[in-house]
A and B are shown apart, each in its own frame.
Chain A
Amino acid sequence: NAGVTQTPKFRILKIGQSMTLQCTQDMNHNYMYWYRQDPGMGLKLIYYSVGAGITDKGEVPNGYNVSRSTTEDFPLRLELAAPSQTSVYFCASSLRHTYEQYFGPGTRLTVT
């Protein structure tokens, strides 16, 4: 199994541009999550999903959107990039009713 994969690894955006961060897992996990990690700060939950077709906001959802059309994929969309969205983004997944989350390698995004 590849586990959780994320693309791209790095991206530089100009203010106002849009992009989609891709996340795929091959472990048949129901739960998927998007986090951002800022320097010196703990992970912050952006959005999560408990299954295909179901998504919900986390702690810091403003400026982001998600969709979950399949069990495997959970893309994160930035519509109008802002410098405050410069961060490292991690996707994670877990089995229903367990807390062990498996993280992807992350996407480092810079907005200038």
Chain B
Amino acid sequence: GDSVTQMEGPVTLSEEAFLTINCTYTATGYPSLFWYVQYPGEGLQLLLKATKADDKGSNKGFEATYRKETTSFHLEKGSVQVSDSAVYFCALSGGGSNYKLTFGKGTLLTVNP
């Protein structure tokens, strides 16, 4: 079945550092790809999405590009803030994964002042 693999954390960075969280996927068909963020004690919020190859999703300074040739959707931010500390989940839906989101295991990011 479809699956998502993302880099294991935790990731600890200083404020204003560059962030990359790697995500690769295995899927039949052409899924949509997502990054969700979960702040402490809260539910999941959609951070960004891309629905087809070469699409770039962006939001709040984060961005990720749907790379079909490498089956990847890496999350990047040029300068992280303390408020970005959260768990980040890569996910896919559609293609062979209709009627559900398939998630990676999540990456805990801690940003220190």
Please determine whether chains A and B interact with each other in the same assembly: no
Give the interface of A toward B (CB within 8 A). none
Give the interface of B toward A (CB within 8 A). none
